[in-house]
Amino acid sequence: MPIRTKGQTKTIIAAAKKMKRARYVLRLFIAGLSPRSTEAIRRVTAFCEEYLANRYELEIVDIYQKPDLMRGEQIIAVPTLVKHLPAPLHRFIGSIDNEEKLLSGLDVQLSTRPVKS
């Protein structure tokens, strides 16, 4: 394993701290207020509050109300969660109930997970 200089170590630590403070910009595409849409909203909101509290923007887009956004984002199924920031762009299509998949796909560092008592 290569030896790091103090400067390299400081750069790595600063990058890790920045990732923990990264602002998330998310869009959740739903179809009306169906039970499936309502459940997707509940799950995504709860996930964001637990893991991204005070550092996320979540826009809920009803494809019936804003079909142009759906076409512009090339949404082919709902619900779909789109992560715009931090890069890279990532889409979650269909059921949004796998917490580990969301953590990984949103690049949420496991070390930032809250401690449950």
Among 14, 12, 44, which residue's Cα sits nearest to residue 29?
44
More confident residue, 4 or 108: 108
User: pLDDT band at 7, cuts 50/70/90?
Assistant: confident
Tell whether the model's pLDDT for residue 78 goes beyond 90. Answer: yes
Q: Give the lowest-confidence range in 49-53, 54-58, 103-107.
A: 103-107
71 three-class SS:
helix
Asked if the bond preceding 88 is cis, omega within 30° of 0, the reply is yes
Q: How far is CA 98 from the centre of its chain?
A: 13
Write out pLDDT tens, residues 54-69.
999 999 999 999 999 9
Query: DSSP 3-state assignment of 23?
Result: coil
Residue 111 DSSP label = G
Domains in the chain, start-ordered, CATH in brackets? 24-112 (3.40.30.10)
Quote the pTM value.
0.75
Query: For residues 62 and 80, what is the distance between their CA atoms, to the nearest angstrom?
Result: 11
